[in-house]
């Protein structure tokens, strides 16, 4: 049985009301990302429904919302333009299978290795991206069919309605938390606009602006249930050659964004989701998208924040959002089409304020300039390029900074024991960055006949460290001196060649290196 609440802090009322709020916010984003990918609006709406329903039901993070996303849409553009939408469906199907394999092989735990500054940069970058995306709602199509910034009364109405939406969301929780403030704000602004016949762009206006002139008059968000259909592409190696690069990137981008969003919600709710289970959930959802005509997707940080801030904690919130969205498509498209864009922009602006990690300014003012640099770098790359590249760059830079800092931390205390042997008591990590410092600690030419290297307070981290020990043993052998190696692990001893014969084994005291457990996933 699936636990539709999924979290001790959830309840049915909050989850249902929060899900309705999220569904309203999903519509324009799904339509916008469909146009970004070069597919019809309904392909984006189907993706939002299927991603949201499946990941909420079987994914690893109750309360997290998935749907069609910009991060994945930009990856799809070239494939759709060159080969058509059927190849996109095949690519999404393959991407889903790759994500399922990532979950099966328990790769989700590795998201825990993303450093804190990278996480902050990811969150801040996405907050900026969400903010910049909303600015597009302040543009209208002129007589020449070109987009231009709003002016005059249209701009003033837009700003006023956005401000009213934000004020309701900010102030209503101080009076009551019985209903989500975002839902109240959307309903209030919608009634105000149509009751007073105010000049304000609605969701259907947004859709029409993106369509060719001949399709504007018949534009609608009404649709039918998605139907099963195997992608109409040749099932051969040439097709695989075409879709594989896109599928791999889609799988990676989807998992990185989903798992980072999962970690963020974990921190906000003081709970822990399952990264490996989320990999499987995202994969199943994308696989289903590929055979039901959706563009696929991943976790959405903006809608997830709306859900969490509106009280949605359980699986029911995401399931409700998906089913309500489907209900809009099938039965109530006119109600969604009449929602003012200003109300949705106001909701997203509140999300931006809540998503941005203002605590990151403490890192900037702190003494650790390397962390501040990584934070800025990841934020900038997220805004300029995309999330996947930003996270990879951030992790690499953080790893290099870590290696540089710890390369000089290796040292040795020396003394001569009662037998006249010289003992080197190593301290600090031995890895590729500290190998040169390690070698400088020893003096094979002037050391006595017997030398002991004690690794009790040191650890060999990689094969570069093992090779350095072998190289040192060779130097002492050339001097005709006896080397003794103590307190080194069986794993390292097995990798040694020249130094293996110098190891003194002690089963009670020799360390055993453990591998990170899959419990983190």
C-alpha 148/C-alpha 364 separation (Å) is 37
Q: In which band, very low, low, confident or very high, does the pLDDT at 269 lie, cut at 50, 70 and 90? A: confident
pLDDT, tens digit, 9 for 90 and up, residues 371-427: 888 999 999 998 887 777 888 899 899 888 888 887 878 899 999 988 899 999 999
Q: In which band, very low, low, confident or very high, does the pLDDT at 3 lie, cut at 50, 70 and 90? A: very low
| 20 closest CA partner among 337, 342, 327 | 327
C-alpha 436/C-alpha 77 separation (Å) is 48
Q: What mean pLDDT comes out for the span 63-79? A: 89
pLDDT, tens digit, 9 for 90 and up, residues 86-139: 999 999 999 999 999 999 999 887 777 788 888 888 888 878 888 888 888 888
pTM for this prediction: 0.75
Q: Is 347 within 8 Å of 306 (Cβ atoms)? A: yes
Return the axis-axis angle of helices 301-309 and 237-269, rounded to nearest 10°: 30
Mean pLDDT over each residue of the chain, to the nearest integer: 87
Tokens describing residue 188:
């209030």
Q: What mean pLDDT comes out for the span 6-12? A: 64
> Is 266's pLDDT higher than 60?
yes
| 55 closest CA partner among 323, 226, 286 | 286
Bridging pattern class, strands 147-149 and 139-141:
antiparallel
Q: What is the DSSP string of 321-369?
A: HHHHHHHHHHT-HHHHHTSBHHHHHHHHHHHHHHHS-TTHHHHHHSS-H
């Amino acid at each position: 049985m699936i636990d539709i609440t999924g979290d001790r802090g959830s309840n049915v009322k909050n989850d249902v009301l929060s899900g309705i709020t999220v569904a309203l916010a999903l519509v324009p984003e799904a339509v916008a990302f469909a146009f970004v990918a070069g597919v019809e609006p309904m392909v984006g709406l189907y993706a939002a429904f299927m991603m949201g329903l499946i990941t909420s039901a079987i994914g690893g993070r109750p309360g997290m919302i998935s749907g069609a996303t910009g991060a994945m849409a930009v990856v799809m553009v070239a494939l759709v333009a060159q080969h058509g939408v059927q190849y996109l469906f095949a690519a999404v199907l393959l991407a889903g299978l790759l994500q399922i394999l990532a979950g099966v092989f328990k790769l989700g735990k590795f998201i825990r290795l993303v450093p804190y500054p990278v996480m902050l940069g990811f969150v801040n970058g996405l907050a900026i991206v969400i903010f910049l995306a909303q600015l597009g709602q302040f543009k209208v199509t002129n007589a020449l069919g070109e987009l231009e910034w709003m002016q005059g009364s249209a701009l003033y109405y837009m700003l006023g309605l956005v401000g009213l939406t934000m004020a309701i969301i900010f102030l209503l929780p101080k009076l009551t938390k019985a209903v989500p403030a975002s839902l109240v704000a959307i309903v209030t602004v919608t009634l105000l606009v149509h009751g007073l016949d105010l000049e304000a762009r609605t969701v259907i206006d947004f859709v029409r602006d993106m369509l060719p002139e001949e399709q504007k008059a018949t534009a609608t968000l009404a649709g039918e249930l998605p139907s099963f259909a195997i992608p109409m592409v040749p099932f051969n190696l040439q097709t695989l050659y075409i879709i594989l690069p896109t599928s791999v990137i889609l799988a990676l981008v989807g998992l990185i964004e989903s798992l980072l969003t999962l970690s963020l919600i974990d921190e906000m709710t003081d709970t822990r989701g399952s990264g490996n289970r989320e990999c499987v959930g995202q994969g199943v959802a994308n696989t289903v998208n590929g055979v039901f005509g959706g563009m696929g997707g991943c976790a959405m940080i903006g809608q997830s924040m709306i859900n969490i801030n509106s009280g949605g904690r359980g699986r029911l919130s995401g399931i409700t959002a998906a089913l309500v969205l489907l209900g809009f498509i099938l039965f109530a498209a006119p109600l969604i089409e009449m929602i003012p864009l200003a109300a949705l922009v106001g909701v997203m602006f509140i999300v931006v304020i809540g998503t941005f990690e203002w605590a990151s300014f403490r890192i900037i003012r702190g003494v650790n300039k390397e962390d501040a640099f990584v934070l800025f770098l990841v934020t900038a790359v997220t805004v300029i390029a995309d999330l996947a590249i930003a996270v990879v760059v951030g992790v690499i830079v953080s790893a290099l900074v870590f290696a540089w800092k710890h390369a000089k931390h290796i040292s040795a205390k020396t003394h001569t024991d009662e037998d006249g042997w010289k003992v080197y008591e190593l301290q600090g990590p031995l890895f590729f960055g500290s190998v040169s410092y390690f070698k400088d600690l020893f003096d094979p030419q002037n050391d006595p006949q017997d030398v002991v290297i004690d690794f009790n307070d040191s650890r060999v981290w990689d094969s570069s460290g093992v090779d350095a020990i072998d190289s040192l043993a060779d130097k002492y052998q050339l001097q005709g001196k006896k080397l003794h190696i103590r307190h080194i692990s069986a794993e390292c001893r097995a990798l040694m060649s020249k130094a293996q014969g110098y190891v003194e084994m002690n089963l009670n005291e020799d360390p055993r290196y453990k591998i990170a457990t899959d419990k983190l996933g």
